[in-house]
Amino acid sequence: MVNDRELEVLINEIYEYYGYDFSGYSAASFKRRIDRLYNLDGYKNFTELLSRIRSDEDYFNRVVEEITVNVTEMFRDPQFYKVLRTEILPVLATKPFIRIWHAGCSTGEEVYSLAILLKEANLLHKSLLYATDLNPSVLASARKGVFPLRMMKQYSENYIASGGKLDFSDYYTAHYGFAKFGEDLVEKMVFSQHNLVSDRSFNEFDMILCRNVMIYFDKDLQDRVLELFDDSLARLGYLALGTKETIKFSQLKKRYEQLNRDKIWKKLL
């Protein structure tokens, strides 16, 4: 196992060699994932691990994948998508153009879910979805719009629970155990690498989604990321967080209104 001092060295070395800053990540979560990697790859000591990370960029990319958890599914938490469908999109429909940022998009399942909602609301043609993540390999996967066919039954059930009325299978083509989603969805998406820790705002958005990402950050980093989102969100725009995330304890709270007990906040000021 890696001790606290070694973790500090590792974080500093990663920043120096690759420019990735993990200093604001939850210490317990970061240590747990490095320990798992340490055991999986059979390192005899910390120096061996550090040397491999310094000298092998492909291996470092694997380390990033291990640290940045990629657990997602289409229409995850159907009630959340039902609120988007019935309460948020009708308001966004009044805008001439809709810009949405999905931060920490992972392999893209939730981005495609939102694109489907926009299409069914006849809003996709005037929307642009910016999907970002720290991890370039998951972004490459998301761009393809290809997901395991075995997951489609669960995703279809989630879709129906979210208020979907159409045949979910119309949105994808099945081929050799995989489901490829339509180009009409993909062409409205912009995938880009973005580091919530160090990168700045890059546009003004009508809605920002960042769900179940900040739970891995410490309080200071959470506050910094919320400030970034606030800087990036238009007045009367919407901020959607995960089930265990909130802005209630942030200085931003007075500028936002929480909707329906769901993790959706409306920017008032």
Output the pLDDT for position 120: 98
Token digits for 187? 């062409």
Are 195 and 21 a contacting pair, CB within 8 Å? yes
Confidence (pLDDT) at 249: 82
Judge whether 245 and 26 are in contact, CB under 8 Å. no
Residue with tokens 């642009």: 128
232: number of Cβ within 10 Å:
20
Burial class (CB in 10 A: 0-12, 13-18, 19+), 4: exposed
The pLDDT tens digits along the chain (269 residues) read 888 899 999 999 998 988 888 888 888 888 988 998 988 899 989 999 999 999 999 899 888 888 876 678 999 999 999 999 999 999 999 999 999 999 999 999 999 999 999 999 999 999 999 999 988 888 999 999 999 999 999 999 999 999 999 999 999 999 999 999 999 999 999 999 998 888 889 999 999 999 988 888 888 888 999 999 999 999 999 999 988 888 988 888 899 999 867 689 999 98
What is the Cα–Cα distance from 138 to 107, expressed in whole angstroms? Answer: 5
How many Å from the N-terminal Cα to the C-terminal Cα in the chain? 48
What pLDDT does residue 250 have? 86
Predicted local distance difference test score (pLDDT) of residue 245: 86
Cα–Cα nearest to 68, from 34, 98, 112, 114: 34
Q: What is the pLDDT of residue 90?
A: 97
Q: What is the pTM of this model?
A: 0.86
Burial (CB count within 10 angstroms: exposed 0-12, middle 13-18, buried 19+), residue 265: buried
- Here the tokens at position 142 are 């998301």
DSSP codes, 135-181: -HHHHHHHHHTEEEGGGHHHHHHHHHHTT--S-GGGGEEEETTEEEE
Q: How far is Cα 111 from Cα 229, in angstroms, rounded to an integer?
A: 18
Report yes or no: 91 and 152 within 8 Å, Cβ to Cβ. no
User: What is the model's pLDDT at position 70?
Assistant: 65
**Which residues have C-beta within 8 Å of that of residue 94, sequence separation ≥ 6?**
none
- The pLDDT of residue 217: 86
Query: Largest Cα–Cα distance in the chain?
Result: 60
Q: Which residues contact 183 (CB under 8 A, 6 or more apart)?
A: none
Residue with tokens 């893209």: 108
**pLDDT in the model for residue 262:** 63
